[in-house]
Amino acid sequence: MFIKIINNIFYDERSNLLLDNINYKLFKVNDNREIEKYLKHIKSKNVLNSKSKYLFNKLYISKIRKVVINMTDNCNLNCLYCYKAKAPDNLSDDVIQAFLNNLDKFESLVRLQFLGGEPLLFKEKIEMICRRVKQINNNISFYCTTNGTLIDKYIIDVINKYNIKLVLSVDGPKKIHDKLRPNMNGSGSYNQIIDNISKYGHYYKAIEATFTNYHVQNNISVQDLEEFLKEEFQTSNIFIAPAVDSSEKVKLLSLDKYSEYYNVLIKNIDNLFDKFKHDSINNINDNFNYLCKMLFRIFEVFINKKEIELLCPAGIETISIKPNGNCFPCYALEDTKYQIFNIKNFDKDSYFLNNEIFNYNSKNNKKCFDCFARPYCIGCIKLLNSIDNKFCEFSKTIVYTVFYNYSLLNTEQKKSFFEIIGGKGQ
C-alpha cells in the first residue's frame, strides 16, 4: 500500500510505484536516488500543498445540478431492508408550487428525479410537475425510480411524452426478489414486474438492485447478480448497492461481512487485468462494463490532471425534497440534524450544510488530505457513516489494486488499456 513521503507524494515498495497527486502522475522508480531526485524537482516548484475547492460550507442553490422530489413516503410493497418509515406524507400542491416558484434559482439544474416510497402512486402529479417544469426550463431531464408493479398505459404515455428515464428496482431471481420485495400481503412482486414488461415492453433505462445477506446465503455474488439482471432484463445499465443501515430492521439483512461485497469487486478487478494481459482485446466483453466505468473515472484524473473533487455530491450538487417540503442533502440522509431548509419558506440563494457531511463530501478533512486515494475516491456518505469506518479501507484497497495491476502492463498494453476503458467507460 502507498505510504506518504511528503505532502501529496506517495510510494509503494511492493510495486516500486511513485504516485504524484500534485501533477497526477504514476510511474515506477528503480531506487531511492530516483525518488530523491523527483522530490527535489517537486520541492523546487513549491506546489506541495493542496486545497479543497470547497473551503467553506456556505453553499449555493445556483450550483445544485440534481433535485430529488420524494412524491410520497408510502409504498405498495413491504421491502425487508427498507429504511423508509411508512408515513402518511404525500407531496402536497403547496410544496410543488414552492419548488416551481424557486426553480429559477436552480441555475445549474439539469436533472430532476422522482422517488418515494413508490412515486407511481402519484402518476398524475408526476405528469403535472414535468409539464410545469418544461414551461419554465426546457433543459431539465427527468428520472424516476420505481418498483415496476404499477406500470400502466397512462404512465407509459407520460414517460414517452417527457422522455423520463425510468429505473426499475429488481433484486435478482424470483426467489430472491420475492423474499426481499414482497407485497403488503406477503405475496411476491416479481411476476407483476415481468407481466408489465410483457405488456409494455422494455420501458426502463436501467436496473438497480440491493445486495444483501440473503444473496450471500444463497451463494449469489455481486457479479452473479449483475449477470442475471443483464440477461433477464436485456440491459447493461445495472447499478448494485449493498444494504447497509443502522436501523435494527435493516441490520437483519445488511452484510454482516461487508467485505464480501468489496472482495468480489477487487477480485473482478484482478480478473479484468488478467484477462486483458492474456486474452485478445476483443474478449473484454460487456460483462466488465461496470468495472471499465469505474476504472475510467480513476484514470480520467490522470488524463485531465484534475481530481474527483467530491466524495459524494449530497448537499453540494444535489438536494432531496421531502413531501412536507423539508430539504436534505440526500434522500438517504433524512435525520433532522441534516435538514438544510424548507422549500416553502426558502427566501435566499445560499445555505449552510451540516459540517460532518460537508467535510467528508468535499474531502475537506485531515484524514482525506493525508490519503493517497483522495483524488480518485468516490462513494456514499450514508455508507461512510454505516460500516464502522471500513469504507476508507475498502476505497484505498480498490484504488491500490487498480494501480498495482496497471503497473504490471507493458507499454503497448497500457496504451490499449486506455482505449478499452475509454470506449466502455464513458
Residues 112 and 137 sit within 8 Å (Cβ to Cβ): no
My answer on whether omega of the bond before 117 falls inside 30° of 0, hence cis, is yes
Amino acid at 206: A
Across 39-48, 51-60, 65-74, 107-116, least confident range: 51-60
The pLDDT of residue 34 is above 70: yes
What pLDDT is stored for residue 164 in this prediction?
A: 97
pLDDT at 411: 85
Looking at residues 94-116, what average pLDDT do you find?
96
- What is the pLDDT averaged over residues 326-337? 89
Residue 112 pLDDT > 60, yes or no? yes
Per-residue pLDDT tens for 276-286? 887 655 555 55
Cell of 383: 455508507
Between residues 137 and 410, which one has the greater pLDDT? 137
Residue 19 above 80 pLDDT?
yes
Of 386 and 58, the one with more pLDDT? 58
HSE-CB for 324 with a 13 A CA cutoff:
10
Please tell me which of 162-171, 327-336, 341-350 the model is most confident about, judged by mean pLDDT.
Answer: 162-171
Quick one: pLDDT band at residue 147, thresholds 50, 70, 90? very high
Confidence of residue 365 (pLDDT cuts 50, 70, 90): confident
- Residue 308's SS3 state is coil
Q: Give the count of beta carbons closer than 10 Å to the beta carbon of residue 358.
A: 22
Rounded to an integer, what distance in angstroms lies between the CA atom of residue 34 and that of residue 109? 48
Neighbour count for residue 230 (Cβ, 10 Å): 18
Between 63 and 294, residue with greater pLDDT:
63
* Chain region(s) in the chain for CATH 3.20.20.70: 58-256+310-352
Task: Summarize the confidence of residues 361-367 as an average pLDDT.
Answer: 79
Comparing 61-75, 131-145, 235-249, which segment has the lowest mean pLDDT? 235-249
Q: Is the pLDDT of residue 394 over 70?
A: yes
pLDDT for res 255: 63
- The CATH architecture of the domain made up of 58-256+310-352 is Alpha-Beta Barrel (3.20)
pLDDT tens column, 78-90 = 998 887 766 678 9
Residue 162 has pLDDT above 70, yes or no: yes
- State mean pLDDT over 381-410: 82
Backbone angles phi, psi at 28, to 5 degrees: -85, 145
Higher-pLDDT residue of 252, 190 = 190
Identify the pLDDT of residue 425.
Answer: 47
Of the candidate ranges 25-39, 164-178, 249-263, the one whose mean pLDDT is the lowest? 249-263
pTM of the predicted structure, to 2 decimals: 0.85
CA dihedral 210, 213, 215, 218 (to 10 degrees): -170
Per-residue pLDDT reduced to its tens digit, 187-241: 999 999 999 999 999 999 999 999 888 898 899 988 789 889 999 999 988 888 8
Mean pLDDT of the chain: 87
Cα separation, 141 vs 147, in Å, equals: 20
Phi and psi angles of residue 117, each rounded to the nearest 5 degrees, phi first: 35, -155
pLDDT for 383 beyond 50: yes
Specify the pLDDT at position 258. Answer: 65
DSSP string of 89-122, one letter each residue: -B--HHHHHHHHHHGGG-TT--EEEEESS-GGGG
Per-residue pLDDT at 205 = 94
| Position 246 pLDDT exceeds 60 | no
